[in-house]
Amino acid sequence: MADPAQILRERTADAWFDLAVQRTDVLLLDHANCEKKAASTALALMFSYPEDFDLAARMSKLAREELRHFELVQQRLAELGVPFRRLSPSRYAEGLRRALRREEPGRRVDLLLCGALIEARSHERFMGLIARLPAPLAEFYASLAAAESRHAGLYQRLAARGGLDIGPRLGELAAVEAELATAPDAQFRFHSGTPS
Amino acid sequence: MADPAQILRERTADAWFDLAVQRTDVLLLDHANCEKKAASTALALMFSYPEDFDLAARMSKLAREELRHFELVQQRLAELGVPFRRLSPSRYAEGLRRALRREEPGRRVDLLLCGALIEARSHERFMGLIARLPAPLAEFYASLAAAESRHAGLYQRLAARGGLDIGPRLGELAAVEAELATAPDAQFRFHSGTPS
């Protein structure tokens, strides 16, 4: 399988990883939120395009996998005794949402391409975390990483169905994504930018 | 396991089952919608009460099961060659929603009790369908029925956590549910009333 990071325009800064290693409590709490949100995004696609059985079947399976990951992250939080707290979301998802085209069929393509970018960014950060975190957490992230990579490929293939050339639009959205993931950011989250 | 139908105030009319057997296309199409909606309702509880790890873990697992059922219903629709069409929702879910208390902690209890009632009604209808449908579809519903029964019990136990006496409120909501499921209804859906 191709490295999903190939579609990302910028690599995550080392400073983000340095902070993540120090703030594993926030990392895991926000990671749980992200898995839940990923399931909800897949479900939203099923509700928006119910006539597309192929899309619905794939999104349903993907949502089940995200939910399973959510359960595993929650178990890890419980094992580590991390007290729950509500975290405000990062600017990332909202920033991508603003870049979506409003009209069909563009909106659907954009939703799928953003799905690919989010999964690719998650995979890139997982890989960096695996290299830097202590063994138990590194192994945990290693156990989840393959799915993110598969999901990134799935979203790209779904966007490209019917022979659509997704290259130009993917490039535009990747530029937005890269800015959100790497511009200075006062907040630390799973998808936050470079610590400012 | 206790029969989940014990919490229902009224049995589904034979006339509903008679119509369901004639309209298996609408039955299956709306059943797919219901499984998707059940997953989305479980996810909504996870987003509303994220501090409750036990609730979140159980709702996540339940949502995965509903999604798996959705996939199976979709496969069955494809095998039978039922053409997709969008169906307006029945009055059932909206009618239950209107009965929910607005303030916490009552709202949460009501959401869980409505979850129990919906699963119990679904189980009751599955059992009636199993007795009336031709073998392939009857076997299909038989394969799904145990989960609905388990889910009804799970929702009741979650509502009763902390020793809460759920009896009186369950009775009130069961009366609303029974009216929605049995009063004359011009529309046929998985949770519609008695055909008028």
pLDDT in tens, A67-109: 999 999 999 999 999 999 999 999 999 999 999 999 999 999 9
**Percentages helix, strand, coil for chain A, rounded to the nearest 5?**
75, 0, 25
Which residue from A50, A63, A78 is facing B67, i.e. has the nearest CB?
A63
Question: Mean pLDDT score of chain B, rounded to an integer?
Answer: 96
Which residue from A53, A63, A78 is facing B53, i.e. has the nearest CB?
A78
**A110 min Cα distance to partner chain B (Å):** 23
pLDDT of residue B180: 98
What tens digit of pLDDT does each residue of B92-143 get? 999 999 999 999 999 999 999 999 999 999 999 999 999 999 999 999 999 9
Establish if A57 touches chain B: CB-CB under 8 angstroms.
yes
Q: Are A36 and B53 an interchain contact pair (Cβ–Cβ within 8 Å)? A: no
Which ipTM was obtained for this model?
A: 0.96
pLDDT of residue B16: 98
Which residue from A36, A43, A61 is facing B40, i.e. has the nearest CB?
A43
Which of B40, B59, B60, B76 is best to mutate for the A interface (most A CBs within 10 A)?
Answer: B60
Q: Does residue A105 have a cis peptide bond before it, meaning omega lies within 30 degrees of 0? A: yes
The type of residue at A163 is G
Establish if A102 touches chain B: CB-CB under 8 angstroms.
no
What b-and-e string marks burial along A28-46, b requiring 16 or more CB atoms within 10 Å of the CB? bbbbbbbbbbbbbbbbebb
Written as six digits, the tokens of B20 are 């369901």
Residue A163, pLDDT > 70, answer yes
